[in-house]
């Protein structure tokens, strides 16, 4: 199994919207990818919440049955279609994939 975790810090203002609006839209776009290929075992998108520690605004936690399933997800047209928006609103990105 492969775990795929990505965190994004968002710009204060981008694409005509503020950080909170873009975070919510980004969450919706990411969640639309939750079942796009076989082998996605878990797919969770969360936003930073007031009162809880967070140094990033959006986090994706996902699990894939194999490296091939993760690659199929990464290459899928729906996933590719949301990348320009994410690139436009993000200020920083951190990612880690690991096998368990």
65 falls within a domain: yes
Q: Write the pLDDT tens digit of every residue in 19-65.
A: 999 999 999 999 999 999 999 999 999 999 999 999 999 999 999 99
99 falls within a domain: no
Model confidence band, residue 15 (pLDDT cutoffs 50, 70, 90) = very high
Q: Write the pLDDT tens digit of every residue in 31-43.
A: 999 999 999 999 9
> Counting beta carbons within 10 angstroms of the beta carbon of residue 8, is it exposed (0 to 12), middle (13 to 18) or buried (19 or more)?
buried
Domain CATH number, residue 49 = 3.30.70.100
35 falls within a domain: yes
23 falls within a domain: yes
Q: What is the domain range of residue 19?
A: 2-94
CB distance 23 to 14 below 8 Å: no
CB distance 17 to 10 below 8 Å: no
Number of independent structural domains in the chain:
1
Rounded to two decimals, the pTM is: 0.95
100 falls within a domain: no
Count of other CB atoms within 10 angstroms of residue 71: 14
């Amino acid at each position: 199994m492969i775990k795929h975790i990505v965190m994004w810090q968002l710009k204060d203002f981008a694409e005509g919207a503020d950080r909170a609006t873009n975070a919510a839209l980004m969450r919706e776009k990411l969640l639309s990818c939750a079942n796009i290929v076989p082998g996605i075992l878990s797919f969770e998108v969360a936003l930073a919440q007031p009162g809880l520690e967070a140094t990033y605004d959006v986090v994706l936690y996902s699990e894939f049955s194999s490296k091939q399933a993760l690659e199929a997800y990464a290459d899928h047209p729906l996933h590719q279609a949301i990348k320009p928006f994410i690139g436009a609103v993000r200020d920083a990105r951190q990612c880690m994939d690991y096998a368990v």
